[in-house]
Structure formats: C-alpha cells, structure tokens
Amino acid sequence: YEIHKALMVRNSYLPAETKNGQRISVMGNIELPEEVVSLLDHGGDGIGLYRTEFQYLSRPDFPSENSLFENYKDVIDVMGHRPVTIRTLDINGDKAVNYIRDNQEPNPALGLRAIRYCLRKPDIFQTQLRAILRAAAYGNVRILLPLISGIEEVEQAFEQIDEAAETLEKQGVVYKRDIPVGVMIEVPSAAVTADILAEKADFFSIGTNDLIQYTLAIDRGNRHVAHLHQPLHPAILRLIKGTCDAAKANGIPTYMCGEMAAEPIFAPILLGLGVNELSMNPQTIPVVKNAIRSIDTTGIDGFMEEMMRLTTPNAIQDLLAHQFGSVVPRIGLSEQER
C-alpha cells in the first residue's frame, strides 16, 4: 500500500489525462499561504480556490491593503506561472467575524454573505480588490466572485473592480486589470440563468457544496438531513450540465471546487459534462489524477445521455458504479468547502 501511495504521489506531477487523451486540470484549494508547498508537492496544476477569509478572522479589525497584498503576492510568487484563483471575501454564517456580525441571523446560510456583504460594504471590498489587482501584476491571477445570484451582482462587482483599478492608476501603483473574473455557480438561480451570466463572466466555478445545499434545501452540516444531501440527484446533474453547456456556448471554461470535484468516482461524469478543471484539498490531488489517468472516456456522450434520463440518485449511482466502479475507487467525500 505504501508503495502504491508513493507511486501515486510521484505520478501526480504528470498531467491528468484520460487513456484516450482528454485532459483536465487538477488544482488545489488553499486557505493559508503555507499550504502552497503541500499543493505543489501533491502535483497541483494551480490554485483553483484561494479562500481569503483567514486574514479577516485572525485579527481584531479589518486587514490593510498592504497586508492583503503581501499575503497574495507570497502565494503568487511560489506558484510562478500557474493559475491562482482568488475568491473575494466569503464571510458566512459558520465562520462569522465578530467585529462584522453585530446581529444574529436565524438562517445564516441564507443571509448577508459573500458578494452580498461586499457590495453593501464597498470600502471593505475596494481594499481587497486593490490588493488583488496589485498582486496580479506578479503572476497568473484570476478573481472569483462567490454567492452570485444574478447578473446585476456580477455587473456591480465588475464596476467595483474597475473602480479599484482606476484608484491604483491614479496612485501610479503597479497593478494588472486585465485578468479573468469568474462567477461561482453555487446559488440555484445562477445555475438556472448560467446563459445570462456567461455573457459577462470570464469563467465559471461550480461550488458543488453550496449548490447542493440550496438546490435540495439541505443544510449539509445538519446530521438529521444528511441522508438527503445527494450529489447525484438528477436536479444537480441537470444544473451542472446546464452550466457547462452555457459556458461552452459562450466560449468560456467551467471549473469546479467542492467535495464533488474531489470524489474520483464522479470524475467520469465531470469529464463527460465537459468540466475543464477540478479543485480540491491538496492531499486528494494524487488520487484524483490517478483516477483520471485510468479512465477511458471514449463513448462518454452516450453514457451521459443514458445517465441524464435516470430519475433517482440511486439509479444514477448504480449506472456509474456498473460502468466505472471497477476502474475508479469511491473514497468517500473528504472535504468541506466553505
């Protein structure tokens, strides 16, 4: 087993390419700058999700532009030419910041979070955006907007990014505005209107944990309803497929972060739907890369058509196991996306 594991980690430096030559990037999710080393050690092709909440949680007040900038630049410097996807502040219910939350929300998962919070507090948003644009001058940076529910929020966020760039321009500071700005697809309304969002976004990143939580109205942290948290629910597959199709029609790529991306047995479906990049806990990267390298996706379109006609999560899981179960392991979902 140790030899198998060592081989897998060694092979993880190779690209994730199926037996028939379909390629997909396998990236890592990080929260702290020091996780970058582990991400590279595990063969990550880049950072698919850099969560930026930590710097806001570990202090008595809001972090300065410079401290954010230096933090981002440290990560970017190590990553070199590889993509670094920085998600803007995604403050939420289960990771509440004391100095922000002066009130208790009865359903924090449905409350003033993420992009909603940032658009209501432009000063805080501007500080972070300036730090990101400055750091972007030193590498391959993307901005990712969390919890988007409609096109108006995307447009407002783009205006905020433009404003941050104008401020830096006036100040004569080194920065880069011309970077991809993507939309997280994790609110059902965003998936249902992906064709509208695709006209503005440079890429999509599907956040499967929240998407499943809202689409099925299941709190994934609540053990009483955990049995209903089904990634293979036909509604989830339809929303993922609709998102990928809308992205393709508009010539933009679709990425995925969240537990679903990290589960090897789901890889054939994600390859079949045309997801371009998977991002996960760095430790899982070798397992997923290895799984993808053992899959043959010849004829996957027919398989997907058959799958999309099924009506229950169990039937979908059975078909998946029947077709790919002998090649790809099911490791059990391993990570909490936040």
Interaction site with Mg ion (CB under 5 A): 186, 207, 210
Angle between helices 313-324 and 300-308 (to 10 degrees): 160
- Asked if 111 is part of the footprint of a second copy (rule: CB under 8 A), the reply reads yes
**What residue 315 binds from a second copy, Mg ion, none (CB within 5 to 8 A, per partner kind)?**
none
Alpha helices in the chain (DSSP H): 2-11, 35-41, 54-57, 65-79, 114-120, 122-136, 151-171, 188-192, 194-197, 208-215, 234-249, 259-262, 267-273, 285-293, 300-308, 313-324
118 binds, among a second copy, Mg ion, none (CB under 5 to 8 A by kind): none
Stretch that binds a second copy, among 27-35, 232-240, 261-269, 297-305 (CB under 8 A): 232-240
Please, what is the minimum distance in Å from the beta carbon of residue 210 to Mg ion? Answer: 4
Q: Which residues of 144-155 are buried (b: 16+ CB within 10 A; e: fewer)?
A: bbbbbbebebbe
Nearer to a second copy by Cβ, of 239 and 269: the residue is 239
CA-closest candidate to residue 132, choices 96, 167, 97: 167
Query: Which is closer to Mg ion, CB of 80 or CB of 221?
Result: 221
Sole window of 83-91, 173-181, 187-195, 277-285 interacting with a second copy (rule: CB under 8 A)? 187-195
Among 32-40, 138-146, 231-239, 248-256, the segment contacting a second copy (CB under 8 A) = 231-239
- Stretches 47-55, 207-215, 268-276, 278-286: which one binds a second copy (CB under 8 A)? 207-215
Binding partner of residue 207 among a second copy, Mg ion, none, CB cut-off 5 to 8 Å per kind: Mg ion
Tokens 């999710």 belong to residue: 29
| Other beta carbons within 10 Å of 314 | 11
Provide the token pair at 179.
């970077």
Of 160 and 208, CB closest to Mg ion = 208
Interface mask toward a second copy for 127-166; x: CB under 8 A: --------------------x-xxxx--------------
124 part of the interface to a second copy, by CB under 8 A: no
DSSP alpha helix (H) spans, 185-266: 188-192, 194-197, 208-215, 234-249, 259-262
Min dist CB 323 to Mg ion, Å, is: 30
Q: How many residues bind a second copy (CB under 8 A)?
A: 48
Q: Rounded CA gap, 235 and 214, in Å?
A: 11
Phi/psi of residue 47, nearest 5 degrees:
-105, 115
Chain residues 268-327 in contact with a second copy, contact rule CB under 8 A: 311-314
Q: Identify the bridge partners of residue 17 per DSSP, sorted by sequence position.
A: 23
- The smaller minimum CB distance to Mg ion, of residues 29 and 55, is found at 29
Strand partners, 142: 85
Question: Per CB under 8 A, does 105 bind a second copy?
Answer: yes
- Positions in 54-73 near a second copy (CB under 8 A): none
Compare residues 210 and 263 and give the one whose CB is closer to Mg ion: 210
Phi and psi for 326 in degrees, rounded to 5? -80, -20
Taking the complex as a whole, how short is the minimal distance between the CB of residue 89 and Mg ion, in angstroms?
12
Say how far apart CA 245 and CA 198 lie, in whole Å.
Answer: 10
Residue 236 interacting with a second copy (CB under 8 A): yes
Q: Of 71, 213, 243, 254, which one interacts with a second copy (CB under 8 A)?
A: 213
Q: Is 36 exposed, middle or buried (0-12, 13-18, 19+ CB in 10 A)?
A: buried
First to last CA, the chain: 32
DSSP state of 132: H
**Which spans of this chain sit near a second copy (rule: CB under 8 A)?**
93-94, 103, 105-112, 116, 147, 149-152, 187-190, 192-193, 196, 210, 213-219, 221-222, 224-225, 228, 230, 233-236, 238-239, 311-314
